[in-house]
Amino acid sequence: MSADRRRADSARTADRGQSDDGHETGPPLTLRQRQILDLLQAGKVNKEIADELGIGVGTVKQHVVALFKRLNVRNRAMAVSRGLGMRRDHDDASVAMVSEGMLERRPSVVLSMLLPEEAKDEAVRCLHGTLARLAAESDALFIARKGGAGDVIFGIQRIAEDDIVKALRAAHVAFTDMSSHDVSLACDMRAGLTAGLAVVSMRRHGGWSGEAIASEAIALARDLQRAAPPGHVMLGSPALDLIRAMGIGDGVPVTPEIPFRRLESLKWTGERSSFALVGRDAEMKWFDAALRDVGRGVGKAVVLTSEAGMGKSRLCRELFQMCVQRKGLARYFRCLPAEPDRPILDISDMAAVGTQSPADLEDLLRSNPARSVELVVIDDFHLLAEGWQPLLCAAAAAGAAMGRMVVLSSRRRACLAEETVEHIHLRRLPMNAIVSLVQETLSGQNAKIKASSVRSLSRMAAGVPLFAIELALRHGTHVPALALLVVVCARLDGLRLDHKILRFIARGADGVTSDEVARGMGEDMATTRESVRRMIAAGVILSGQDERLAFTHPLIRRVIEQLSLE
């Protein structure tokens, strides 16, 4: 059933003033109001609603005001919550539960799987058991459905940059488990995988309240699952965009239809589209001198840190190539959170990518160098299990003492002793470097825009290379790229800040003080000030000389505004 058909059906139901099971739901809505309400539930803003319905933004605003009056609500969050309470179709609708909470939009990844009709109850229990276990491991939501179907929704409790990786792995594990149970059934399984925004009831400091969730992506994943050929996963465009942005699949474009058996080969190598390394001349000059020292027997242990999206992996790949060009031995490893047994990916040779255990890597680091110039890069070190991090840090120091260069690329400082480590922190790029990156990205798309638009995109990126690339790739749209939403939301979720206060600060165009936040929200000033202090310490907001609060990056504010329903 298409999304338009679902909206029309639900509109006719609302016009009758009844739910699908015949119970009274409240005041009847017009067809247009029902369409507007469905789009609000899908997380659309006024401009997106106008584009989808082919009407003006002013007309949308008029319909929204009329809808609020009809539902007797004051804002979008209340309208969405009231709308959720009017929906009861548990099979085809995109609503999982209904109730009222602190509603916000969140990026989510949805995997929907289906067994063939002839599957017996035992096979259905096998599939549901596997999906439920995988959901529990990832703090995801599992929805069991009739007819041998089930959905797993990632990003509801906590958003992570590797949610798309977890979803791909879940599809492969489910296929493997079903193959052990019944090979013929496994070969006839179908799956749909997509991503999008979900309207979710959340606690103030993060975490799903367990009350409400609505997402068009759930229905779209089910549509993809029904359209998939037997033995295949059908990928939606948003999922393909995330796969590209996160560097999954060895840099080779992934097709919309992919066999279950091929999922295992889609490794998270971090090999994204090739963009120029700009603004890092000083760092590359330092690494050049360090490799020369290694050639003279002086080893180095280096910790490379930065916030998300600053290009650590891009710099590491450049260093790797520099070592290869000098006839040195270069090894490149990437840590993967979605691989519990062998969580380290060896991408030294992209034609022969393989996994290793932390113990294997520890042995390598402690062994004698095989060449006079030897480099070992361990990327995304912060994703490695905490128990292994100090052991590999000690091994890295031992490797450096034997004359090799070891680079630990991480979001956080690794636990190497200060006297044995060099620390390089990547700061945000200057404006001219970001402008160059935006221009290169637009040129690759054959996009021609005004110089003023290039400067506007560059200012919004505010020195972060990943943001510059994704903003340029999405130029001409009014919504931030899903990859940007995922990166920003993953950071905010990890900090567990007060979402309600963040929304209030985002609405203050000229900045607000902590006391103004407390008064505006009608809350205790001491408690509000403490929450604000945590936000400042986390690097999300800053306080000016006049104590007015502002976000440290314009995209953080834009994302919070985009995801708020108020």
Separation CA 435–CA 458 (nearest Å): 6
- Each of the 566 residues of the chain gets a pLDDT tens digit; together they read 444 444 444 433 334 344 333 334 455 788 888 888 888 877 677 888 888 888 888 888 888 888 888 888 877 777 776 766 555 443 444 444 434 457 888 999 999 999 999 999 999 999 999 999 999 988 899 999 988 999 999 998 899 988 999 999 999 999 999 999 999 999 999 999 999 999 888 888 988 888 778 888 999 999 999 999 999 999 999 999 899 888 887 666 789 999 999 998 888 888 766 678 899 999 999 999 999 999 999 999 999 999 888 999 999 999 999 999 999 999 999 998 756 678 899 999 887 888 899 999 999 999 999 888 999 999 999 989 888 999 999 999 999 999 999 999 998 887 776 667 899 999 999 999 999 999 988 887 766 788 888 998 899 999 999 999 888 887 766 556 888 899 999 999 989 999 999 999 998 877 899 999 999 999 999 999 999 999 999 999 999 878 999 999 998 998 998 888 76
Q: What is the DSSP letter of 564?
A: B
Full set of structural domains in the chain with CATH:
3-89 (1.10.10.10), 102-261 (3.30.70.1230), 281-425 (3.40.50.300), 479-563 (1.10.10.10)
SS3 for 304-343 is EECCCCCCHHHHHHHHHHHHHHCCCEEEEEEECCCCCCCC
Contact indicator for 153, 216 with CB cutoff of 8 Å: no
Residue 321 tokens, joined? 């190539």
Separation CA 183–CA 189 (nearest Å): 10
Among the listed residues 111, 453, 490, 464, the one whose alpha carbon sits nearest the alpha carbon of residue 310 = 464
| Helix (H) / strand (E) containing 33 | helix 31-41
Separation CA 249–CA 256 (nearest Å): 13
Residues 6+ apart with CB under 8 A from 352: none
Q: How far is CA 513 from CA 304, 426, 524, in A?
A: 35, 31, 14
Separation CA 529–CA 493 (nearest Å): 20
